[in-house]
Structure 1
Amino acid sequence: MRALVTVPKNGTKQEQRNVAGLPSFSSWIDNFFDTDLETGLLSNFNHGLTLPAVNIKEDNDNYNLELAVPGMNKEDFNLELDNEILSIGVEKQTEDKIDNENYTRREFGYSSFKRTFTLPDTVDTEKINAKYENGILNIHIPKREEAKRKPAKRIDVS
């Protein structure tokens, strides 16, 4: 039986090294920009969303996914099931404009992410449902009846 598997959307980040064991120039640049640079220059840019943290729980009857995505509305989510691939995405644009006597300030932002999961063939895709509450997206993925684990049974020896 296959387990629920995360499928990277934009490829996986792999550390590149040259023959001498030092990081390559491209990985050095990637690492430089991956650090928390909260300088005046970078703090003025919209950070958007990073990939949200995901908890995956399995019990005898279901898989449950929990994604931490605060500040969204349920209408912001796009959940799609294509064959056995579950895609969860958000694309959100915001714009604030303040007009005052002496100045105009206009700020805008764009946030997005997409996570995909390969579902095992043991799930009942017709009964998948999702609920967004208190910044957590909960996705309930029930297993098919024949995939549910049966309780232990004692076999008598004759």
Structure 2
Amino acid sequence: MSVLKQLTAFGCGLLFGAGLALSGMTRPEKVLGFLDMTGQWDASLLFVFGGAVTTAGVAFRFILSRNAALPGNHLELPEEMAVDARLVVGATIFGIGWGAAGYCPGPAIALLAQPNIEAAYFLPAMIVGWGLYSLLLSGGALQSNR
């Protein structure tokens, strides 16, 4: 990978992490407050969601009009668009984990810049989950019919 591509990737990651931190997404109490619609609901993350959807909408419109990514390499888009059981189960597990812990992988990784005890528990558990998924996938238990 060229130095320019590495710097671009680093800059994008840094911008993403800063956005997560500024929006409060690295604070589980903020996320759990947003998910608690029957208690004291904190709707402020709706602005984060709205900004993300707007930015992605504009960016995807631009990106999809091109035949290549900005650095010039091939633009890889998913070929399969069907919603299958594997997708639904994965999304459900992700949602339950996010709702229980208040972290999802992006903000959890961003917490490496501001370590705390919760991240010390969550990050290894997340890595174990990835490993279990890989084991189940390679064993055929999670193979899809694609």
Larger helix share, 1 or 2: 2
Tell me the TM-score normalized by structure 1. Answer: 0.21
Q: Of the two, which has the highest radius of gyration? A: 1
